[in-house]
Chain A
Amino acid sequence: MNAPLLEVDDLKTHFPIRAGLLRSVVGHVHAVDGVSLSVQPKETVGIVGESGCGKTTLGRSILRLIEPTSGAVRYRGEDVIGASRQRMQELRAEMQIVFQDPYASLNPRMPVDDIIAEPLRVHGTDKTAARAKARELLDAVGLLPEHGNRYPHEFSGGQRQRIGIARALSLNPNLMILDEPVSALDVSVQAQVINLLDDLQDEFDLTYLFIAHDLSVVRHISDRIVVMYLGRVAEVADSSDLYTSPAHPYSHALLSAVPVPDPDLERDRERIVLQGDIPSPSDPPSGCRFRTRCPLAVERCADEVPELRQVGPGHMVACHFPLEPGETLIDRVGALAV
């Protein structure tokens, strides 16, 4: 294995909950609660999970857009959390982020070539060179360079997301954190942007951390997938392994809940409908976070936090009773009932 480009080690980001007249701290939201992962150069790692699983906070904590509470982030072996302000600015040139909402993340009063050139200007490129580079990037993301003098409102949602991607590319980053980059787009346009991300990865040797709630999209784009639940990693596996033999009951249920555009398959599918809601990250369950919704939960799950452990090559799971390859959650529930 090569040296990883990015390593995250036991990262925690807790937000204080304040209440009362003195705004005293009455608790914490455990948004990210001990996440470890590593990303190889030119790899795409998908981070998937439902609301409140901490996937967005994780992405922002890695770039220190939100300061993590504890833990380590290393970029090419270098400590990011302890980096000075100046060093951080240099590091951010190599680690860029693309946000979900292409409407909110672009300044409506700036022409798009200035939007794309702004990071270059901040990093000291002169105006003419920055603008020329912006036009090059417009071309790279499939927009017309001569449209650089237009404003964001003159573009459609998909085109705006392309602009956001061009801006993130302007400093020649190695790592792109893509936070729900296609969630706001119509299906027909979403596919265009996914293909664009594929092409850009090859062209610019990019490494992606792809954060999304849509498992179909994540499966399509990722080499490896990290499944998160309530601030913790439930499972890490190669994309195809996760889909063919999920080991965590949550991963299995999550996959079975995703509808597929095939009526016969939909009718015959064994679907596990999880009971109950996702608990609040301000008051997470003891032991295994998933135990309140898990059909396999026993006493041990409440007492003991399951550590992330290896169940196959590159396949890690945080569960006391992981599913065997080929075994489904329904099989297991059935076997337990006998």
Chain B
Amino acid sequence: MADVKTGEPLLSVKDLTVSFKTKKGMAAAVRGVSFDLAAGESMAIVGESGSGKSVSSLALLGLLPRSAEITGSAVFRGEELIGMSDKKLQSLRGRKIAMIFQDPMTAFNPLFTIGDQIAEAMEVHGLASGKEALSKSADLLEMVGVPEPGRRIHQYPHEFSGGMRQRAMIAMAIANKPDLLIADEPTTALDVTIQAQVMEVLADIRGETGAAMILITHDLGLVAGSAERVQVMYGGRVFERGTIRSIFYDPRNPYTQGLLSSMPRVDNESDRLVPIVGTPPSLLAMPAGCAFGPRCQYRGEVCGERPAELAEVGIDHASRCHKGAEIPRWSEVSA
């Protein structure tokens, strides 16, 4: 869990909340998220639209618009990120923490070559410059499996295919050997065979650099093959967290169980899916009590009254549910 030398986690998030002022009132996107991430560890944050999975990491990096109100604490290598000056954040972003976004087309500037942009990522942090930076960007492209890197550094983003652009973004993200990679739906825009390539590149790169990773995704399948721990978010809160095995083989929260039973699987035939009724709540109209309550088959009176606490249900495994003890185990549900 913790750094061998200091005993401190790489990133420690405590009670993070994010709200947005809107014309229709305050929208609470993240409502009290806490977690620790050890150096080199890989954690996934899973959730559907509006669950707050992306907003929480954008908040850490100071990438949210000014209308966002952020409270709580996020300590990265001993430094508090929340409330940190823009200048200081800039020196961290792209240096110690790097982000990989879903859409690499909008993340690159269309007017500069890929090589120049990767080189710039090194230059702004004073880690390389000029010809050296450019030749390093070619090395980085080679590392992420872009063929003919010496030629491709002189090309513009539109000359790269979607998969190649995503590789180039990974190259840019690892240019400064960050300690933490935040990958926000890194393969959602890609075809499945290209997704497999990109996930393989990410795994190889992490093997080489030892970077920790937060993988943000809606795809539980993707998580199963690429993370050690998982947080399942719903309505701005963590509903369940645990090791990858506990989440997939012994999910205790009705929402996690519902997500798993909603998924058609490529590796077996099922007659009928078991969906969750209803739709995810709007941020502006969160149900009173448990956010999942109105869709939950186990709801009781207490569920409409107050939100449940995240409670330990096993070793490194916690679930947020009033009815914890009454929820059938997954082995019974899925049989």
Over the window 232-257 of chain A, the binary record of Cβ atoms lying under 8 Å from chain B Cβ atoms (1 yes, 0 no) is 00000001100100000000011111
Q: Which of A82-114 contact B (CB under 8 A)?
A: none
Q: Considering the chains assembled together, what is the distance between the CA atoms of A191 and B192 in angstroms?
A: 20
Task: Please state if A260 and B194 are interface contacts (CB–CB under 8 Å).
Answer: no
| Residues of B with C-beta under 8 A to A50 | 191-194
CA of A221 to CA of B273, assembled, Å: 10
Give the interface size bracket for B toward A: 35 or more
For window 47-63 of A, CB contacts with B under 8 Å fall at 50-51
Q: Is the CB of A260 within 8 A of B218?
A: no
Complex: A188 Cα to B274 Cα, angstroms: 9
Q: Name A residues whose Cβ lies closer than 8 Å to a Cβ of B.
A: 50-51, 156-159, 186-192, 194-195, 198, 213, 215-217, 219-221, 239-240, 243, 253-267, 271, 273-275, 277-278
Q: How far is the CA of A189 from the CA of B197 in the complex (A)?
A: 29
Other CB < 8 Å A-B pairs besides A50-B194, A216-B264, A262-B224, 8 of them? A51-B191, A187-B262, A189-B279, A190-B262, A259-B219, A263-B249, A267-B225, A277-B194
- Closest-CB distance, B70 to chain A (whole angstroms): 26
Q: Assess the A187–B259 pair: CB atoms within 8 A.
A: yes
Report the minimum CB–CB distance from B167 to chain A (whole Å).
Answer: 11
Contact B221 A186 (CB under 8 A): no
Determine the residue in chain A with the shortest Cβ distance to B247.
Answer: A263
Supply 22 A–B pairs (Cβ within 8 Å), ascending by A: A51-B162, A51-B191, A156-B279, A186-B280, A187-B48, A187-B218, A188-B279, A191-B262, A213-B191, A215-B192, A253-B193, A255-B266, A256-B196, A257-B192, A257-B195, A257-B196, A260-B224, A260-B267, A262-B224, A263-B225, A273-B200, A278-B194
Q: Contact between B266 and A277 (Cβ–Cβ < 8 Å)?
A: no
Given contacts A216-B263, A253-B193, A261-B263, contact A192 B275 (CB under 8 A): yes
**A-B contact number at CB 8 A:** 139
> Which one of B163, B248, B274, B280 contacts A263 once the chains associate, using CB atoms below 8 Å?
B248
Closest to B194 in A: A277
Q: Is the CB of A277 within 8 A of B225?
A: no
Contacts of B218 in A (CB 8 A): 186-187
Contacts of B267 in A (CB 8 A): 243, 260, 262, 265
User: Do B269 and A240 have beta carbons less than 8 Å apart?
Assistant: yes
Q: How many angstroms between the C-alpha atoms of A190 and B191 in the bound complex? A: 19
Given known A-B contacts A159-B279, A190-B262, A259-B221, A213 and B192 have beta carbons under 8 A apart: yes
- B272 contacts A198, C-beta separation under 8 Å: yes
CA distance A50 to B277 in the complex (A): 30
Q: Which of A157, A189, A220, A253 contacts B264 (CB 8 A)?
A: A220
Interface-central residue, B218, B265, B280, by most chain A CB under 10 Å: B265
CB-based nearest B residue for A189: B279
Interface 1/0 per residue, B192-230 and A, CB below 8 Å? 111111001000000000000000001111111100000
Check if B272 sits within 8 Å of A195, measured CB to CB: yes
CB <8 Å contact, A186 and B269? no
Within 8 Å CB of B273, what residues of A? 191, 194-195, 220
Contact A273/B197 with A240-B269, A261-B263 known, Cβ cut-off 8 Å = yes
A242 CB, nearest partner CB in chain B, Å:
10
Which chain A positions have C-beta within 8 A of B259?
Answer: 187-188
**B286 lies within 8 A of chain A by Cβ:** no
Interface residue? B55 (CB, 8 A)? no
Residue numbers of B with Cβ under 8 A of A are: 48-49, 161-164, 191-197, 200, 218-225, 244-245, 248-249, 258-267, 269-270, 272-277, 279-280, 295
Q: Which of A158, A186, A243 has a CB less than 8 Å from the CB of B266?
A: A243
Interfacial chain A residues near B275, Cβ < 8 Å = 188-192, 194-195
Residues of B within 8 A of A195 (CB): 272-273, 275
Known A219-B266, A219-B269, A259-B219: A191·B274 in contact at CB below 8 Å: yes
How far is A215 from B261 in the complex, measured between Cα atoms in Å? 17
| CA A10 to CA B327, docked complex, whole Å | 55
| Chain B residue at minimal CB-CB distance from A255 | B266
B190 CB to nearest chain A CB (Å): 9
Q: How far is the CA of A5 from the CA of B264 in the complex (A)?
A: 28
| B282 (CB) vs chain A CBs: closest residue | A156
Roughly how many angstroms separate A239 CA and B265 CA in the complex, as a whole number?
Answer: 13
Nearest B residue (CB) for A192? B275
Q: Is the CB of A258 within 8 A of B262?
A: no
Give every chain B residue within 8 A of A216 (Cβ-Cβ).
221, 263-266
Tell me, in angstroms, the Cα distance from A192 to B275 when the chains sit together: 5
Do B49 and A186 touch across chains, with their CB atoms under 8 A apart? yes
Residues of B close to A254: CB separation below 8 A: 192-193
On chain B, the residues within 8 Å of A260 by CB distance are 221, 224, 265-267
Q: Which residue of B is nearest A188, CB measured? A: B276
Closest to A221 in B: B264
Residues of A within 8 A of B196 (CB): 256-257, 271, 273-274
